[in-house]
Structure 1
Amino acid sequence: MNNKWILVALLASPTVFAESLVQWSDFSVTALYGDNFEVDPAEQTTITLETAGGWKYGDWFAFQDFIYFNDAPSDSNHVNYGEYGTRFSASKIFDSKIGFGPLTDLSLALQYEQGSAAASTMLYGIGSDWAVPGFSYLNVNVYQRTELSNSAGERGASDGWQLTPAWRIDFGDTGIVFDGFIDWVFSPSEDSYEPMLHINPQLKYDLGAVINGKSGQFYVGVEYDYWKNKYGIPNGIPGLEVDQSVFSLLIKYHL
């Protein structure tokens, strides 16, 4: 066979496979600016790459943050952090609805966390999807956390448990969206690691629908970040505030 056609076949086969496997997907870029962060330098600019989608046997969600400390020295003015997760849906795998009442599905939930200054952690547990009036989606995952690395300078290093609800609410035809997540890490294995609560909602307006008639593409808004015992650091350390409460301005573009 002509080498050209071999190359075409190799390039086309993943596409055909992906089309049969992937049901929907989304990719977005978000820019945020905020001040008064705790533990880290106060003024920060963050670029977030984010993807979500549904596939034949479940769904996925992943993001990568590139965080810039605006007033820090150039040799220490940025870090990165990412989470990459997928869920294997019982309803999709068995081709039958698994659930009752408002519970619409159960899943095997897997997630990997890593960062330039964060401990690498594997999470595994049970995911659930709920049909709740007013919510575009509501899912709740319960994980066991397993620490994969604990090098000097890494934060958030501990085994334990985590409860993570995530949601989205669309306010009719107003173009206003309220979505976000909560991470509650509890029962840590390390005595030096405090249970922590991280609440991270966004309130956004669909500006793209107004300026170019394309809805669901370009958003502006604010993000609120509440973090009790940030990175699992206990309260009471002199000169260190570990409970964070900060608003950030955001713009978000879906490709």
Structure 2
Amino acid sequence: MKITRTAGLLLLAASCGAHAADWSDTSLSYRYGSKFSEPYNGADIVKHIINFSHVSGYKYGKNFFSVDYLMSDENDPSAAGARTGAHEAYAVYRHTLDLGKISGANLAFGPIRGVGVTGGFDINSKTDAGYNSKKRMLVLGPTLMFDVPGFLDVSLLALHESNAPYSTFTNTATNRYRYDTHAMLTAAWGIPFTLGVPLSFNGYANYIGTKGKNEFGGPTAVEINVDMQVMYDLGATLGAPKNTFQVGVAYQYWKNKFGNPARTVPGATARTPMVRAEYHF
């Protein structure tokens, strides 16, 4: 498909640019919440999440890579009848080419400082009692970069997604199933501010269109996922460089999770407060 070929070209450009990074930031973080939710599971779930992230910029654009390792309690069991919780790894990669930097033209207008094209992928693997997700997704589309302190990027992406779940309840494997190509309007931001102490407002918001029938023939719904944090920079307190250590609070609202309609699927909407700590190096 055209989206696959174009995303491949973006990934090639990213691999070349990564060797000539002008700036970079790498971090390890931990977050904890007790109100996570999973579709077809009505219980509140405790999760501990360890994250590795890397972002870097080079002459023509920037790269972002993130891996979450999510550890659930027994309310999201690892197998049917198990007393141990599920584990999940979820990786995201995005590469944005800045069209103004490539062409040498000034593409700024109004509050927009630049225009780009973003491509990348999501991939996950989860061991749980019901679904055992093996998501694979390619993304591609235009990006507007806003002229704000820090950054605010808004993209309209086409999603090419598939999955191949396995149910331990029925011991049934599903062949890899491709959903209809669908759209996502997404924003990512990191805005520094002060209230007597150095703070930042970070996060992302996704509005994801319906993706046709699911792999079992059921309907899918519009998905909304907002994850935001207010972080305090501990660097000065600890005698460390700026933004080395950060702590804060976070909140995630996820409606119709993975496209499951909340009106018919228990657990398909999550409202999750969290605490978060980060180390940047």
Q: TM-score normalized by structure 1?
A: 0.84
Q: Percent identity?
A: 25
Question: Displacement of 1:118 after TM fit?
Answer: 4.2
Query: Counterpart of 1:80?
Result: 89
State the 1:82 CA deviation: 1.0
Contact (CA 8 Å) 1:224, 1:247: kept in 2 or not?
A: yes
What is the one-letter code of the residue matched to 1:211? L
**Taking CA–CA contacts closer than 8 Å with sequence separation of 6 or more, which of the two structures ends up with the larger relative contact order?**
2
Alignment size in residue pairs: 235
Letter in 2 for 1:50: S
| Cα contact 1:118–1:156 (8 A) shared by 2 | no
Where structure 2 has 5 or more consecutive residues not aligned to the other structure, the ranges are 1-15, 126-132, 167-173
Asked if structure 2 preserves the Cα contact closer than 8 Å seen for 1:119 and 1:156, the reply is: no
Distance 1:156-1:80 versus aligned 2 partners, 3 A rule: farther
Q: Are 1:144 and 2:167 counterparts? A: no
1:167 CA drift (Å): 1.3
What is aligned with 1:241?
267
How far off is 1:99 after superposition? 2.2
Q: CA deviation at 1:211?
A: 1.5
Shift of 1:214: 2.0
What's 1:59 paired with? 62
Return the letter of the residue paired with 1:248: M
Q: Aligned Cα RMSD in Å? A: 2.4
Moved more, 52-61 or 65-74: 65-74
Q: Secondary structure at the match of 2:237?
A: helix
Distance (Å, rounded) in 2 between the aligned partners of 1:83 and 1:19: 16
- Do 1:218 and 1:254's aligned partners in 2 also have CA atoms closer than 8 Å? yes
User: Which among 244, 248, 257 is matched to residue 217 of structure 1?
Assistant: 244
- Structure 1 residues not aligned, in runs of 5+: 1-16
- Structural mapping, 1:84-123, within 5 Å: 84-116=93-125, 117-123=133-139
Partner-residue secondary structure (3-state), 2:163: coil
What SS is found at the alignment partner of 1:166? strand
Q: Which runs of 4+ in 1 moved over 6 A?
A: 17-20, 154-157
TM-score by length of 2: 0.77
- CA drift of 1:26 comes to 0.8
Mapping of 1:99-248 within 5 angstroms?
A: 99-116=108-125, 117-132=133-148, 135-147=149-161, 149-153=162-166, 158=179, 159-172=181-194, 174-190=197-213, 192-237=219-264, 240-248=266-274
2:71–2:85 Cα contact (<8 Å) kept: no
SS at match of 2:220: coil
Post-superposition offset of 1:18: 7.0
Deviation of 1:24 (Å): 0.7
Give distance in 1, aligned partners of 2:177 and 2:85.
19
Q: State the alpha-carbon separation in 2 of the partners of residues 161 and 58 from structure 1.
A: 23
Instruction: Indicate conservation of the 8 Å contact 1:156/1:231, yes or no.
Output: no
Cα offset, 1:57, TM superposition: 1.5
Report how far residue 22 of structure 1 moved.
1.0
Tell me the SS of whatever aligns to 2:37.
Answer: coil
**Given that residues 81 and 118 in structure 1 are in contact (C-alpha distance below 8 angstroms), is that contact kept between their aligned partners in structure 2?**
no
Alpha-carbon distance in 2 for matches of 1:129, 1:80: 29
The residue that corresponds to 2:6 in the other structure is none
Structure 1 residues 118 and 57, CA, compared in 2 at 3 Å: closer, same or farther?
Answer: same
3-state DSSP of counterpart to 1:29: strand
The question of 1:45 aligning with 2:48 is answered yes
- String of CA shifts for 1:231-254, please: whole Å, max 9, x gaps: 11112336x121110111111000
